[in-house]
Every structure is written in C-alpha cells, then in structure tokens.
Structure 1
Amino acid sequence: MKIKKIIFSVAIACFILTGCQKEVKKETISLAISGMTCEIGCAKTIQSKLSKKEGVLGAKVIFTDSIANIEFDANKTSKEDLIAFVGAIAGGELYKASESKVNTSAKAHTCSDACKESCEMKAEKTACKEDCKMACCADKKS
C-alpha cells in the first residue's frame, strides 16, 4: 500500500512540474552594431557569445551590414538586455548596439547583386523574403 502511495505521489509531482512550465514567448530583434572591424574576430565572436546567452534561441551576425538578427525568449531576456549584452562584449569598449528600425511588414523585393552576395538566399538569386532584416534590403521594401 505504501509503494502505491509513493508512486502515485511521484506521478502527481511530475505532472505538476511539467504542466507549470512557462511557454516560450519568441520575439526577434535586429541590432545595428558599430565597432566591428572584421568578420572572423568581431562578428563571429559576437554571434558566438549571443548564441550562448540565456534566453537567446538563435543569433546571426552579418558583418557586411553591421546587423545582428536575434530570436529570443522574452520570458528570459529582453531587447534592452540584449543591447546591453552586446555593448559589454570585449569589456564594453569596442561595440555599440542599437535597435535597427527595419520594416518587416513590407512585401518581397528584388535584391541588388551586392545584397545577394551576402544574403542567405544567394544560392537562389531571387527576391529576398518578406521578413528580410538585412540593411541592404531595408531601403528596397515599400
């Protein structure tokens, strides 16, 4: 009888613990980053550190556009925290980050050849995705 009560208690505890987990609240932000001087040392370092930060689900730093596209869990971190985090990399002396105001509701457009070379879609050489956040695409969306 005691064993059944213990098993039952453990089962209920498991259901309560798994049922009470917070749902991931995904958000994205594009940061304009100044101070990067090279792709390997700067951009890859920032991308690596962002990817390891608690709450960050994915990060891609594009050196040629000085942009970081970050997907994060808003329950664990915030836009302000991410901006401060990038600014603090390398002792806080090298990089400055600010939120990039890219219009993500615009329709697809055709990228320039220069944009296509740095764009993730360069293999297709077609129009950028509707939600493209690259700086070279920002002025072409209308």
Structure 2
Amino acid sequence: MNTEQFTRLLDTHGTEPDRWPAAQRAAALALCAVSPAAHGQWMAAKRLDALLAAARAPVPDASRQARIVAGAVARLRARSETVRDWRWLFTRPIGAAFAASLVAGWLVGLELAESASADLVLADLRFEDLFL
C-alpha cells in the first residue's frame, strides 16, 4: 500500500481501522507505522473527525422547542402591547421630554396667534376710521 491508496482509504472508510476492509487493514496499519506522511494524514483526519463530532449540537426535544417559541411569542406580545399603550410616554424620560415639548409648542403657538391677530386688527384700521 502507498500513501495515495491510504488517502483513498481514509476518504472512503474514515479514520477508524475497524471500518477499513480487512484485506487492507493490516497493510494500512503497517504503512502508518513506517511512513510519517501516512501517520500525519491519519492523525489530521482523526483531529478533523473529533472537531466535527464536537460541533454537532444535540437536537432539543419538542417540548423544549415549544417552551422557547412560547416564551418568544409572549415577549413579542408584551412588547407590542407596550407600544400601543400611551403610558410609556410618561414613564420614560424621553416620553416626558416629548410631552413637555408638545405642550410648550402649543403654548407658544397660542401666544403667537393672539399677538398676530391683534396686529392685524390694528393694521386694518385707518386714521379716518377713528374719527367717523
């Protein structure tokens, strides 16, 4: 057996010698004992197998998935109810600042409207109208 055949053996049957064909197993193990390149390939393939095995996450059971989804839906519903509720406006500092700016703008608008209407009334009066 040469290193190319050993590479094909690893690619085809994996790193466990128990899965290798019995006719090739003895020759492959003998090659690994004498060839540092073949032994390095085998160890690299074993490290890759170990990494892949560690990366496999167990699939959670159906009841756990249902609890996760139910919790997420409950949080989304609670958040949407909070957005529709106007109480957030007065419980957060940004809401208070927004409400205060609305009231201040409304008051300034009223004052400007009253002073503008008084100026218009005086501007419409003519000197002759005062003495008629």
Normalised by the length of structure 1, the TM-score is: 0.20
* Structure with max Cα Rg: 2
- Greater per-residue strand proportion: 1
